Structure 1
Amino acid sequence: MSTAVITTLLVIAAVLGIKGCIKRLYSGCCKASGEKMPKRLRVKDKDLSHYPYEKVLKVDGMSCGICSVRVENALNALEGTYARVDLDRGQADVYMKEDTGDEALRDAVREAGYTVYRINRIK
């Protein structure tokens, strides 16, 4: 009897888990909660030759387009930065006019709700 109850509970949990995964797969994690796509923060200067510094941030927790826009907006809100997020690679390419410290970049991403687990200086 107890085996049947445990098996039933496991099947129910598996069905609910699979249902949630499918929902997120087709609508994104944030859209599943009904959240709308945030507006992208507009960067006035997109000429990369004006940005002598570049870092690549590996970001954990991004799983949909809304997540990537949040991270991009958080980094673009910093003075003198231009960031582009690649969701598939889980990274943000950050171009800077001045050498912004790693902690400032980590803090901006953390405030957006995500975690930076590695920063590579490119130039």
Structure 2
Amino acid sequence: MATAIVGILVLVALFFAVKGVLKHFRGESSCCGGGAVTAPPPKKLSGTVIGKKVVDIEGMTCGNCKIRVEQALNTIDGAAAEVNLHRGHAVLKMTREVSDDEIRQALAGSGYTITGIHAKG
């Protein structure tokens, strides 16, 4: 009798696990809490790009994460971000000198961790 109860519990848990995985792959949920995020058009900079910084970021796992990080970094005046999800970094093009503190502040509280910031040559 106990074996039957354990078997039923395992089957119920397996059912919910498979249901969640299928929902995720259909795009009805995401790893970062909610449905699909619509990507805005890329930010256009007015002025000459004077430099680039590479921001190494941990915690990005999907396209929604990429969009959220780009949106957060694009709030920095005079900077536009392009995230490479597979490399785990963002390239920040700048029309003015942007401090590392400004970059960290833009992602503060987002759930993503900056592991390094360096100039791109």
TM-score of the aligned structures, taking structure 1 as reference length: 0.69
Query: Rg bigger for which structure?
Result: 2
The 5 A counterparts of 1:76-87 are 76-87=74-85
Bigger share in helix = 1
% same residue:
32
Query: Partner of 2:34 in structure 1?
Result: 33
Find the aligned partners of 2:18 and 2:87 in 1 and give their Cα distance. Answer: 24
In structure 2, what is the Cα distance between the partners aligned to 1:121 and 1:3?
A: 61
Partners of 2:78 and 2:22 lie apart in 1 by 39
Question: CA offset at residue 20 of structure 1?
Answer: 4.1
CA-based RMSD of the aligned residues comes to: 3.1
Bigger Cα displacement from structure 2, 33-42 vs 87-96: 33-42
Select the residue among 61, 64, 78 that pairs with 2:62: 64
Counterpart residue identity of residue 77, structure 1: T
**Runs of at least 5 residues in structure 1 that lack an aligned partner in the other structure:** none
Greater shift after overlay, 106-115 or 24-33? Answer: 24-33
Does structure 2 conserve the Cα–Cα contact (< 8 Å) formed by 1:53 and 1:96?
yes
- Offset at 1:91? 0.9
> In structure 2, what is the equivalent of residue 90 of structure 1?
88
SS in 2 for 1:85: strand
4+ residue runs over 6 A deviation: 1-12
TM-score of the superposition, structure 2-length normalised? 0.70
* 1:18-57 superposed matches below 5 A: 20-21=20-21, 23-25=23-25, 27=27, 29=30, 33-40=34-41, 42-45=43-46, 50-57=48-55
What is the one-letter code of the residue matched to 2:50? Answer: P
2:95 maps to a residue whose letter is K
Summarize deviations over 1:22-59 as a string: whole Å, max 9, x none: 644553625873344253463244x8xx2122111111
Q: Which residue of 2 aligns with 1:73?
A: 71
